[in-house]
């Protein structure tokens, strides 16, 4: 039977690399590229069909940073498909990244250089802003929009007698120290990307607690250090010209420097091949690359592991407390009308 696979943020980077991997190795597939920029989505679809002429590739307009766009996309998906086998939640943003240059050069020539590149801990901050829904933009795009999409697609994801999968693209930058339940949108902090990724790790655990019995299974992956448009936006281009040879050299000694989108998508594709029962619902599955360029996937303890015993209210964490402007709770309520 043809599997229905939805990939958000599929027009470039890791999302597009995943689509290429899937179409290369799996014929019985209906792939849907869910993207904000439809011009780039069309270009991505054309590129995929150029090398996979018999593939079934659909397009869907989806801006996960807009609640109205998510609700409209969910209605369209429910009209198109009778089920969804895989929902890859890959879209994400890191707006206005600011790097502590002094800390960067200090770390570059220290024993901490690998961890610095892998996690950006103590190095990277962002300037967030409020979106049109009255939510923090990073929270809305990286977490809430995807949560709302899952909620809306439950009729296609939670069907009796069959299993569906949700896979979140997280990050090694997801750190508990950046997240606060009292400030879930990270309105008062400077690391909204790290906070949103840690929160997605928690939501995955919560989904497994509440939805495994209904046939929905959730997993989280870390793509490693991958050079994408998001990564290149962190530093000026001349910095990357200087740094890249060093990074390729460092990769010989660490497996977390996947560097290319193809390598970073390894764990996403690996999960496609696994049965839900064989997976640890609390683990984060890491894309890793050996010094010789071989790809493999390895489960590691996720930062949100302790949330496995969290109270049943975890899935409603987005409506925990009203923030500036309208609170997320009014959007959750609207999604169930």
**Active centre residues (catalytic):** 193
Q: How far apart are CA 39 and CA 29, in angstroms?
A: 23
> Containing H/E element for 219?
strand 216-222
Greatest CA span in the chain, whole angstroms? 56
Q: What is the DSSP string of 82-139?
A: S--SEEEE------SEEE-HHHHHHHHTSTTHHHHHHH-TTTEEE---B-TTSSBHHH
Strands 97-99 and 216-222: unpaired
* Residues in contact with 223: Cβ distance below 8 Å, sequence separation at least 6, in sequence order: 14, 169, 171, 258, 264, 265, 267, 268, 287
Tokens of 183: 């400030």
* Tokens standing for residue 160: 């009796």
Radius of gyration over every alpha carbon of the chain, rounded to an integer in angstroms: 19
Can you tell me the distance from the alpha carbon of 127 to that of 119, in angstroms, rounded to the nearest whole number? 18
Q: What is the DSSP letter of 178?
A: G
* Cα dihedral: 84, 88, 94, 99 (round 10): 170
* DSSP structure string for 150-173: HHHTHHHHS-TT--EEEEEE--TT
Query: Residue 166 in contact with residue 85, Cβ under 8 Å?
Result: no
């Amino acid at each position: 039977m043809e599997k229905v696979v939805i990939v958000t943020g599929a027009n470039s980077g890791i999302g597009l690399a995943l689509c290429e991997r899937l179409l290369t190795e799996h014929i019985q597939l209906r792939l849907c590229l869910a993207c904000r920029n439809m011009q780039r989505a069309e270009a991505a679809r054309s590129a995929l069909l150029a090398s996979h002429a018999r593939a079934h590739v659909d397009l869907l307009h989806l801006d996960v940073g807009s609640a109205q766009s998510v609700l409209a996309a969910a209605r369209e998906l429910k009209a198109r498909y009778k089920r969804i086998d895989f929902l890859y939640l890959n879209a994400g943003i890191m707006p206005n990244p600011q790097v502590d240059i002094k800390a960067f050069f200090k770390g570059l020539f220290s024993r901490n250089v690998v961890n610095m590149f892998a996690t950006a801990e103590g190095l990277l901050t962002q300037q967030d802003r409020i979106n049109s829904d009255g939510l923090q933009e990073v929270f809305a795009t990286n977490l809430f929009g995807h949560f709302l999409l899952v909620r809306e697609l439950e009729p296609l994801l939670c069907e009796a007698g069959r299993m569906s999968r949700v896979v979140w693209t997280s990050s090694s930058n997801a750190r508990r120290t950046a997240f606060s339940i009292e400030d879930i949108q990270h309105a008062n902090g400077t690391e909204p990307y790290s906070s949103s990724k840690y929160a997605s790790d928690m939501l995955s655990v919560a989904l497994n607690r509440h939805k495994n019995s209904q046939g929905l299974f959730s997993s989280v992956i870390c793509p490693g250090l991958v050079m994408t448009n998001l990564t290149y936006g962190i530093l000026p281009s001349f910095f990357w010209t200087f740094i890249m040879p060093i990074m390729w050299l460092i990769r010989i000694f660490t497996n977390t420097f996947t560097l290319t989108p193809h390598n970073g998508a390894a764990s996403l594709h690996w999960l496609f091949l696994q049965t839900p029962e064989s997976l640890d619902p609390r683990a984060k599955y890491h894309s890793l690359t050996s010094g010789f360029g071989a790809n493999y996937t390895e489960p590691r303890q996720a930062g949100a592991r302790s949330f496995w015993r969290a109270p049943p209210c975890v899935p409603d964490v987005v409506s925990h407390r009203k923030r500036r402007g309208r609170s997320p709770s009014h959007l959750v309520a609207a999604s169930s009308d």
